[in-house]
């Protein structure tokens, strides 16, 4: 897959407190506006059930958020224990609504004690928010049973490339070779799928509202002036206008793998 070169791209240092704050603010609007993330979750679960079946005694979902995927896990899979994790404490309400669940609050990169002897670790649209994904993957391999499955989705370098092109700011998205290499050190990959999806909006302000309502503005604390906003809108239209409005790119990646 071809990745365009974006000049002056700045990989943003993650501010976990900002991420927590922005996603907490978007909890009530996330499910309504995160249609791409919902579609990715459905595809991830379909591929997982096709490859590994629907019975996992002990499941750990990382980044459960508003419960888009949690509700599907409860419907689709037979399990004895479901551990739910999220950086946002308010997500704990999910554990009271789902059977046989336990909520583990905090940043997956810094939780001192994780559940052990797991049969499935699953995560949707969360791993792009990690500082050191390879280190986390090593830790996750250590808490899975010998036949355990890791199933997750994340995003690739073209994600929100329209925003990156105009602001120069982006997350540290791993390329396909980098991601496969990181996973491959501890897992055997049984499914790898990536695609590009263009979502269209009437106006650049609608793009910004969409990102805000899904919490994705957690990349930067920068406050725009009126002239900053006007300049962004003008350039966004010039660069991304189509017959269907202006576009926003999503670059989802799905991986399912077994512990080596």
Q: How far apart are CA 227 and CA 236, in angstroms?
A: 14
Question: Strand, helix or coil at 173?
Answer: coil
Return the pLDDT at 3: 41
Can you list the domains of the chain with their CATH numbers?
10-259 (3.40.50.150)
Return the pLDDT at 97: 85
Return the pLDDT at 91: 93
Contact between 108 and 127 (Cβ < 8 Å): no
pLDDT along the chain (260 residues), means of 10: 46 82 88 92 97 97 95 96 96 87 96 96 96 96 97 96 90 94 97 96 94 75 85 94 94 97
Return the pLDDT at 39: 96
Q: How far apart are CA 43 and CA 245, in angstroms?
A: 27
Question: Which tokens in the block code for residue 36?
Answer: 């791409």
Residue of 228, 152, 146 whose CA lies nearest to 189: 152
Contacts for 205 with CB less than 8 Å, ≥ 6 apart:
233
The DSSP line for 67-126 is: SHHHHHHHHH-B-SEEEEEESSGGGGHHHHHSTTEEEEES-TTT-SS---SEEEEEESS-
Strand order in the sheet with 118-123: 101-105, 81-86, 58-62, 118-123, 144-155, 252-259, 187-194
Return the pLDDT at 7: 40
């Amino acid at each position: 897959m071809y990745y365009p070169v974006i000049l002056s791209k700045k990989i943003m240092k993650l501010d976990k407190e900002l991420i927590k704050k922005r996603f907490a603010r978007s909890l009530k609007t996330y499910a309504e506006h995160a249609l791409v993330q919902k579609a990715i979750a459905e595809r991830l679960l379909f591929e997982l059930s096709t490859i590994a079946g629907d019975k996992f005694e002990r499941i750990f979902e990382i980044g459960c958020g508003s419960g888009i995927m949690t509700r599907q896990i409860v419907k689709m899979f037979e399990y004895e224990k479901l551990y739910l994790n999220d950086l946002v404490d308010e997500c704990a309400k999910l554990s009271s609504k789902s059977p046989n669940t336990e909520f583990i609050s905090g940043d997956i990169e810094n939780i001192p004690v994780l559940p052990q002897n797991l049969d499935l670790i699953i995560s949707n649209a969360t791993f792009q928010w990690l500082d050191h994904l390879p280190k986390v993957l090593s830790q996750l391999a250590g808490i899975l049973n010998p036949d355990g499955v890791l199933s997750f989705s994340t995003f690739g370098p073209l994600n929100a490339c329209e925003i990156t092109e105009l602001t120069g700011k982006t997350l540290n998205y791993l390329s396909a070779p980098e991601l496969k290499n990181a996973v491959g050190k501890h897992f055997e990959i049984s499914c790898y799928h990536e695609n590009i999806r263009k979502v269209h909006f009437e106006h650049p302000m609608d793009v910004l509202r969409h990102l805000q309502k899904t919490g994705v503005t957690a990349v930067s604390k920068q406050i725009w002036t009126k002239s900053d906003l006007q300049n962004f809108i003008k350039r966004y239209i010039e660069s991304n206008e189509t017959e269907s409005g202006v576009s926003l790119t999503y670059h989802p990646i799905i991986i399912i793998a077994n512990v080596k």
